[in-house]
Amino acid sequence: MNNDSYEGMLAAVQAFHDKHQFKENGGEEMTYRLALMAEELGEISACVTKGKPLEELAEECADLLILIMGTAIAKDFDLNNEFWKKMDKLMKRKSKIIDGRIRVSEFRNC
């Protein structure tokens, strides 16, 4: 397995799902997965706001990435393809400085 590829990462997450029988035991249910992702975002937030070591932030970000990749497995969509389609859209968007910070958006008028 290639550790430096999306395919290798996806295969590792699939192996984790298979090992613990996520599909058969509710681990691929979307409301549950959303709650887990919110929990990980909270842990990422705590790392940032409490000044925890970079290693802890990196581990929590990895947890979130694994959950996101697992969601692609559970719902059977090509996250790699969707990533590149979205990057193409984002690269075409304009940016603005709002309240001293960069913001990239479509900036629709409301």
Q: Is residue 37 part of a domain?
A: yes
Radius of gyration of the chain (CA): 17
pLDDT above 90 (res 110): no
11-50, pLDDT tens digit by residue? Answer: 999 999 999 999 999 999 999 999 999 999 999 999 999 9
pLDDT above 70 (res 65): yes
Q: Is residue 36 part of a domain?
A: yes
What is the domain range of residue 46?
6-78
pLDDT band at 2 (very low <50, low <70, confident <90, very high): low
According to DSSP, the residues that pair with 94 across neighbouring strands are 105
Question: Domains in the chain: how many in total?
Answer: 1
Q: Is residue 19 part of a domain?
A: yes
Q: Is residue 101 part of a domain?
A: no
Q: Is residue 28 part of a domain?
A: yes
Give the CATH number for residue 53: 1.10.287.1080
Q: Is residue 84 part of a domain?
A: no
